[in-house]
Chains A and B, each alone.
Chain A
Amino acid sequence: MVGDHLVSNLFYGALLGSVYGVATMGLSMIFGVLRIVNVGHGSFVMVGAFTAFWLFTLYSIAPILSIPVALIFGIALGFVIFQAVMKKLVDAPELSTLLATFAIGVFIEETAKFIWGSDYVGFSWDIGTLYLGSITVPYTKILAFVASTIIAGLLYLWFTKTKLGKAIKAVVEDRDGAAVCGIDVNRIFTLSFALGIGVTVMSGVLVTLFVPVGINVYMGADYTLRAFVIAVLGGLGSPWGAFIAGFLFGLFENGSYTLLGMIPGVEPFALTRFVAFVFLLVILLVKPTGLFGGEE
Chain B
Amino acid sequence: MQMGKLKALVPMVLVYVILLVIGLTVPGMWQPVVYFMFYVALGQAFNIFLGLTGYVDFGYVAFLGLGAYGMAIALQNFAHLGLVAIPIGIVLAVIMSVLLSMAVGAVALRLRGAYFAIATIGVNEGFRFLLVGTKLWGGSEGIVLSGFMRKAFGREIANYLSTFVSDLLLFLVAFLAALTTVVILNKKMGYALLALREDEDAARVMGINVTKYKIMAFITSAAFAGLIGAIAWTLKLTYVFPEDVFNIHYTVEAIVIVMLGGAGTLIGPMIGGLIYGVLKYYLSVIFPGVQLLILAPLLIVTIVAFPEGVAGYLIKKTRNSKLAEYLR
Contact = CB atoms under 8 A, between A and B. Distances in A.
A182 interface: no
Nearest to B258: A95
Interface in B99-156: 107-108, 110-111, 113-115, 117-119, 121-123, 125-126, 129-130, 132-135, 139-140
Interface stretch (A142-150, A157-165, A204-212, A267-275): A267-275
B256 A99 contact: yes
B120 to A, nearest CB: 10
A130 interface: no
Given A110-B290, A285-B107, A89 B125 contact: no
B64 interface: no
Interface string A88-125: 11001111101110111011011101100000000000
Interface residues of B, number: 44
Given A274-B130, A280-B122, A110 B292 contact: yes
Contact of A99 (B135, B255, B297): B255
B300 A103 contact: yes
A113 B292 CA distance: 11
B245 to A, nearest CB: 15
Given A98-B56, A99-B252, A278-B126, A284 B134 contact: no
Nearest to A88: B304
Contacts of B292: 106, 109-110
B296 interface: yes
Task: Tell me the interface secondary structure of chain A in the complex.
Answer: helix
B218 interface: no
Contacts of A109: 292
A288 B116 CA distance: 10
B118 A37 contact: yes
Interface string A254-296: 0000001000011111111110011011001100100000000
A236 interface: yes
B123 A281 contact: yes
A232 interface: yes
B265 to A, nearest CB: 14
B259 interface: yes
Interface string B39-72: 0000000000010001010100000000000000
Contact of B133 (A35, A95, A271): A271
12 contacts: A37-B118, A94-B117, A95-B56, A98-B58, A98-B117, A107-B296, A260-B133, A265-B135, A270-B133, A280-B118, A281-B108, A281-B119
